[in-house]
Structure 1
Amino acid sequence: MLTLAVALLGVAPAEAASPKVRHAEGLLLVPNNGWTKFSPNGDGSQDRTGFSYRPTRRATVQVTVRDARGAVVRAANLGKQAGGWHYWTWNGRNRHGAYVRDGAYRVTFTATATRHGKQLRDSDTSRAVARTRFDRSPNGIVFVPGVYLDRDAIYRDTTYFKDEFSWNGEFYRTSMQGSLGSRGASRITGPDGGVVYERGERYDGDNQDNTWDGTDEDGVRVPAGTYTLVNTWVDLYGNHLSVTKPLVVGDGSRVEQHHSVTVTPAEARVGTATEPFEFLAGSHKTGFYLTYACPPRASDRFPAGALSFALYDPRCTVSDDTFKVALPVDLDLTFDTVTLTAVGGPTTPGGEGSATLGLTLFTPPARTAAGDEATTVVQTKRGQFQPPANDVTWYVRRETGGYDFKSFTVDIYHYEPPA
């Protein structure tokens, strides 16, 4: 009768009930538990992200994607899987086929298997971050995109030096798994839109330094005209950001101009110290940090306008000053050169004395003046990305004994575009 009642009620006997599902650690492994980054926005760059998983035996696998609030945005039954490694790709769309919003998502894989008539289940979770706008603050460092060109135009027939564009694409610093790098690319297109120069998708250094001499990838000169530089950066999510600059390629040669200016040290002096002063590093006043500096005085040896660098006060430990000469042209320090010639000698004729002389346009090697009527020449070095300068500044510092300067001569070799 009991059996008949069970049959009539449609209840299966106890021994036919579904076996209890037990949690079994080690049935499933999802190794990439870090954050994967992607940009589901349909631009073809990192629109998808993927996850590896490994059931240790044949099992049925399901995957569930939840947002930061725990709501399910996507679920899929991956079916029965053999033991071993598998890969699931998520296109960043929700269950309705729309792209998900920016944010963090938990991706949980669940494997179910049967062993000795018992069902076993195991789950493991990975994570993904979706971002569809360019990340300007990776690692908390604000990125301001910019392309810094050293000139607006080049003239390819110039023979004094190689006239070419140099630019710095600024850097976009990213960090992934402990490594730093700068990701970006530079492309130059012609008036017809054709590509004449292209470099890079990822740079390991902090800066993207590039040059272009007005030739295509085969080394053939391109026609004169206006070209377009496009510098593009890619963040870790796959989002792009671009900045464009016009580049003018002209025929002809730059014209060399030579300008020379000679002044006395007194005329060029811009130092302000008139009495010995104390230089303190921090709040510590010790023998190591304390310096007494004496400005130069009028020279007794050379004519008016000459200056003497000497320790004329017992408290002085150094005698130095700064000088400047206004120039008739604006310097373009990417190819202009400057030569400084200083004439002088020890404070006492026939005595011993020397001084260090150096240009402060940027950081060139300093030269030491020594000997009677010595002439010291310091020449600038051409460098990238230097802004134009309206004057030349240099410094003088006494090294040994006393040293007097009676004249400074600045020679400028400036290169103008052709008329």
Structure 2
Amino acid sequence: MALLLVTGLLVPALGASAAGHRDLIEWVHAYNLFSPNGDGRRDTVRFVFDLAHGARVTAGVRASGGTVLHAQSLHRLDSGRHHWTWDGRSDDGTVVADGSYDIWIRARRGAVTQTLKTRAVADTVAQGRLVTSRPTVYPRAQIVDDQIQLVYVAEGWSPYVVWVGEDFQPRTELRILNHRDKVVRDEVVKDSATPTFTWDARRTDGTALAEGTYRARLRTIDQAGNLLRLSQRITVSHAQLVEQVWTNTVPAATAGRFYPWFDLGCNDCYNFASPVASDRYPGGLSFRPNESTWGTSGYFLMDLPFTAAPVDTYRITAVGGPTVPGASDVGALSGVLMRGDSTASSPWFHVDLVDYPYLPVGEAPIHWTFGTKPPNSFDVATFSVEYRYYVSAAS
């Protein structure tokens, strides 16, 4: 079960106390994701708090429906720093199911009562998958420095989680073994939301490894302490590669679309308008002026009829012109300006197999943008893709 780590919920709840006693008890630390499965990794969850004065303290756990699962008296504690640890069990000794639980720690001193509340998340199952680009690597290829890419994608992965930086894999190790189970590659990635590995099937001196079948074994530990092992077969071939070019042209209105994820520091990037149907070009799109801070934008993608590889490159070409023929309005294709009735191409981009929208579905390695800023109004008739990729010369 993959759950986003709950933070920022350390909210003191006052009982019948005066405002001057708000500091009777304060949170210091409450890392609230744990895995009570008995494997010795984060089997308990620990809450640290400070008392400003001596007080009688109790702690407890409630299920989401309000049922008290566990309550415990910590007796009278002196002022200072203390902690309480929960082992994920209810009062009858049963380990609770995976999920979110309400936690409280209550301090009483005379007529003053103060309660701190947060949540603990029990998560005993790591879930994810190993996404691999082309399963064959060609270390002797002369036309391109070939390599494959292996990426661990945790269940619930999203660009938001990556940018916020809260949900990451503390440690992920990839080992590649030959047919004799000898390790030919061993690499560790720490504290990454998207652990990524590349392999060119070469030794440290640059020579190619022998042809044959290898096995990639990935071992990762999540924030709750759960261990997950995954494996993938990889083929090493000494064949040469030849370049191929795949092309595809579509009316702009039929191009695949996606909604982007923006960095939290982007400041109102979401405030953009979408294009509408073009009156000038049948099947086209019109990027017209609006009151949006960021103008009118479209975010486009295209799938491939074959598997993408990290050495592949592509570029996009747009055909279009101002909404009103002859006007001086401009549009921008992935940063390249189009003026008047024209055809423009983007630079050649390398395929980024760990970028959104390719992850987590792994199906859209090609993506681009087109947009205008007020007062410009620009229409696009078609988008074309040129995609350079490599296949075995022996095939």
For normalisation by structure 1, the TM-score amounts to 0.48
Give the 3 Å change call, closer, same or farther, for CA 144–306 of structure 1 in structure 2. Answer: closer
Q: Is residue 343–residue 407 contact of structure 1 (8 Å, CA) maintained in 2?
A: yes
Give the 3 Å change call, closer, same or farther, for CA 343–225 of structure 1 in structure 2. Answer: same
Q: CA shift at 1:296, angstroms? A: 1.3
Deviation track 1:16-52 (CA, whole Å, cap 9, x = no partner) reads xxxxxxxxxxxxxxxxxx9xx99998xxx99xxxxxx
Question: Which position in structure 2 is the counterpart of 1:151?
Answer: 134
Q: How does 1:228-267 map to 2 (within 5 A)?
A: 228-234=215-221, 240-262=227-249, 267=251
Q: Does 1:269 align with 2:244?
A: no
Q: CA shift at 1:214, angstroms? A: 0.8
**SS of 2:243 mapped into structure 1:** strand
Question: Which position in structure 1 is the counterpart of 2:388?
Answer: 413
Q: Which of 181, 184, 187 is the matching residue for 2:172?
A: 184
Q: CA shift at 1:333, angstroms? A: 5.4
Question: Which position in structure 2 is the counterpart of 1:297?
Answer: 279
Separation in 2, partners of 1:234, 1:322: 35
Deviation track 1:116-144 (CA, whole Å, cap 9, x = no partner) reads xxxxxxxxx9989799xxx9989545520
**SS of 1:297 mapped into structure 2:** coil
Code of the aligned partner of 1:381: H
Separation in 1, partners of 2:349, 2:227: 39
Root mean square deviation, CA, Å: 5.3
Q: CA shift at 1:213, angstroms? A: 1.2
The unaligned stretches of length 5 or more in structure 1 are 1-33, 47-124, 273-287, 300-304, 358-364
Q: CA shift at 1:251, angstroms? A: 0.7
Separation in 1, partners of 2:279, 2:228: 57
Q: Does 1:345 align with 2:321?
A: yes
Code of the aligned partner of 2:278: P
Q: CA shift at 1:227, angstroms? A: 0.9
**SS of 2:191 mapped into structure 1:** coil
Q: Is residue 343–residue 374 contact of structure 1 (8 Å, CA) maintained in 2?
A: yes
Separation in 2, partners of 1:157, 1:398: 45
Separation in 2, partners of 1:164, 1:351: 47
Question: Which position in structure 2 is the counterpart of 1:309?
Answer: 286
Code of the aligned partner of 1:355: G
Give the 3 Å change call, closer, same or farther, for CA 229–366 of structure 1 in structure 2. Answer: same
Give the 3 Å change call, closer, same or farther, for CA 164–289 of structure 1 in structure 2. Answer: closer
Q: CA shift at 1:224, angstroms? A: 0.7
Code of the aligned partner of 2:314: V
Q: CA shift at 1:353, angstroms? A: 0.6
**SS of 1:416 mapped into structure 2:** strand
Give the 3 Å change call, closer, same or farther, for CA 160–295 of structure 1 in structure 2. Answer: same
Give the 3 Å change call, closer, same or farther, for CA 292–213 of structure 1 in structure 2. Answer: closer
Q: CA shift at 1:163, angstroms? A: 1.5
Q: Is residue 212–residue 236 contact of structure 2 (8 Å, CA) maintained in 1?
A: yes
Separation in 1, partners of 2:172, 2:288: 55
Code of the aligned partner of 2:202: T
Q: CA shift at 1:183, angstroms? A: 2.4
Q: Is residue 148–residue 309 contact of structure 2 (8 Å, CA) maintained in 1?
A: no
Separation in 2, partners of 1:408, 1:179: 37
Separation in 1, partners of 2:202, 2:87: 42
Separation in 2, partners of 1:158, 1:383: 21
Q: CA shift at 1:156, angstroms? A: 1.4
Q: Is residue 306–residue 405 contact of structure 1 (8 Å, CA) maintained in 2?
A: no
Question: Which position in structure 1 is the counterpart of 2:198?
Answer: 211
Question: Which position in structure 1 is the counterpart of 2:186?
Answer: 198
Q: Is residue 177–residue 214 contact of structure 2 (8 Å, CA) maintained in 1?
A: yes
Q: CA shift at 1:226, angstroms? A: 0.6
Q: CA shift at 1:189, angstroms? A: 1.2
Give the 3 Å change call, closer, same or farther, for CA 252–129 of structure 1 in structure 2. Answer: same
Deviation track 1:321-375 (CA, whole Å, cap 9, x = no partner) reads 7878887x43515333222222333345553111233xxxxxxx44332245352
Code of the aligned partner of 1:412: Y
Q: Which has the higher contact order (CA 8 A, sep 6+)?
A: 2
Q: CA shift at 1:212, angstroms? A: 1.6
Question: Which position in structure 1 is the counterpart of 2:353?
Answer: 384
Q: CA shift at 1:249, angstroms? A: 0.8
Code of the aligned partner of 2:313: T
Q: Is residue 308–residue 347 contact of structure 1 (8 Å, CA) maintained in 2?
A: no
Give the 3 Å change call, closer, same or farther, for CA 136–402 of structure 1 in structure 2. Answer: same
For normalisation by structure 2, the TM-score amounts to 0.50
Separation in 2, partners of 1:136, 1:147: 24
Code of the aligned partner of 1:148: V
Q: Which of 212, 234, 241 is the matching residue for 1:225?
A: 212
Separation in 1, partners of 2:154, 2:248: 40
Q: CA shift at 1:311, angstroms? A: 5.3
